[in-house]
A and B are shown apart, each in its own frame.
Chain A
């Protein structure tokens, strides 16, 4: 056997072992899920846990099917999902924009510094009632909740990353006679993409919090409303179903952000 084919063979073997490991990981992940669902069902059937409070997988499943058939789930899901996506995008864009303004003018940033600290330490959901009164108990105020919860933290994190870009990159651009806008476009912003992406990941979670709390308060539509309604009429199957749907879609959003990360950050490695 020539050394060349030997290396190929070893490589094949290595790839094979990688694949096998991945299969085992998937297998155990599935086992955990199955055990959890089975144990929950069993405990509920045998009355080890109160089925009225903890419901059971089979009840959640039945409810899911009925809610899919009569279409009500899609209405609520549609509302919540669009509110979250809007809030998330708005929060990230406005936060980054604010960070850009702070970077642009160090003087403005010095002036605004204490206000940012105050706004950041404030629990944003506490602003909910005011938002609802100001903007009306509707889509807009819930989107505002989803956005406001992530704006300030995005601003602070992204601004810090803007400031920490290696000054030598700026020097390179300056020797070519770059204006401030060009410096921002060519160095500051692209150098901060990794940080912006990681705030996106945090913001996915935060926007869900904002939107769900907003729906608690407005109490008319959406998955948050499903939770609060289920709680009020003591229908915990409804609450569990809502939680399940939220978990699935929050994960999907997170995965989409990761996909974006792979698209946006390529250094040829």
Chain B
């Protein structure tokens, strides 16, 4: 049985003056332990799809099952990391990373110790009592990752988590996130509009086309690239070939005279 199964998702947003279809007929499956990317131009409904998978939005049509069960918004089996860190500025780092446990009433000393160990593993020692404002953007995003991981979700969703960071920090974080998720054998979905990032991090890439958003094509990343860290993938000889393939496909989706 598939780990994550998305069947026939349609979603339409209604407002007073319009009905906008964000997604139409999206079906895909993700295996356990797999890292996949949703790639596509803006407005292709990637974030909507993530919200549906997380159970935050009810799709107009279609079903999402995780390990054969329908997802619910109250389940803690899904972790969600947003574009910006969204750490709570009035909470210390420690309070921030324990937030998920506190909300779901699972906070005990072992879980707390686990969260603090994770923080250390991310190279953030001695920041527990500081406030988010005192940390740099990259550090904050790492804290946000710890916050997402402490509840031990089965599926992790990353919604352009590196887009607000500078390039160097982004490359470093890609490696860190990739290694961490691999060592925990987490299943993850990355939403991005950066082709390089999608290739460097994932096992499969789902390419979406816009208005209305639908699944256009699936790319399977060759095995030799999957085994490398994201940073090394970028300098691998197979990288530019697949980059070109994805690039051309993405180009074909958008009219060339758009600029």
A interface with B by C-beta (< 8 Å): 166, 168-169, 171-178, 182, 186-187, 190-191, 193, 265-269
Contact call A175/B54, Cβ cutoff below 8 A: yes
Beta-carbon nearest neighbor of B85 in chain A:
A172
Name B's interface SS: loop
Q: Map CB proximity to A onto B115-142 as digits: 1 under 8 Å, 0 otherwise.
A: 0000000000000001111100000000
Q: How many residue pairs bridge A and B at CB < 8 Å?
A: 61
Q: Are B104 and A268 in contact (CB under 8 A)?
A: no
Interface size counted on chain B using CB atoms at 8 A: 26
A169 contact set on B, CB distance < 8 A: 86, 88
* Interface set of B (CB-CB < 8 Å, partner A): 54, 56, 73-76, 78-80, 82, 84, 86, 88-90, 92, 99-100, 103-104, 130-134, 151
- Measured CB to CB, the closest approach of chain A to B1, in angstroms, equals 24
Please, which residue of chain A has its CB at the minimum distance from the CB of B101? A176
Contact status A267-B104, CB under 8 Å:
no
Cα distance A268–B135 in the bound complex, in angstroms: 11
Chain A interface mostly: helix
Contact in complex: B82, A168 (CB < 8 Å): yes
CA A265 to CA B131, docked complex, whole Å: 12
Sampled A-B contacts (8; CB under 8 Å): A173-B99, A175-B54, A177-B103, A182-B103, A186-B88, A267-B89, A268-B92, A268-B131
Count chain A CB atoms within 10 A of each CB in B79, B88, B133 and give the residue with the most. Answer: B88
State whether B78 touches A268 (Cβ < 8 A): no
Given A186-B99, A186-B103: A175 in contact with B78 (beta carbons within 8 A): yes
List residues of chain B with CB within 8 A of the CB of A182: 103
Q: Is the CB of A269 within 8 A of B103?
A: no
Q: A176-B151, A182-B103, A268-B131 in contact; A171/B90 too (CB < 8 A)?
A: no
Nearest B residue to A177 via CB reads B74
How many whole Å from B106's CB to the nearest CB in chain A?
10
Find out whether the CB atom of A187 lies under 8 angstroms from the CB atom of B88.
yes
Contact indicator B130/A175 (Cβ below 8 Å): no
Please determine whether A175 and B88 come into contact, CB atoms closer than 8 angstroms.
no
Complex Cα distance, B80 from A191, in Å, reads 21
Q: Tell me if A176 and B99 are in contact (CB < 8 A).
A: yes
Q: Establish whether residues A266 and B90, one from each chain, have CB atoms under 8 Å apart when the complex forms.
A: yes
CA gap between A73 and B129 in the complex, in Å: 49
B139 CB to closest chain A CB (Å) equals 14
Q: How far is the CA of A178 from the CA of B100 in the complex (A)?
A: 9
Chain A hits for B74, CB < 8 A: 177
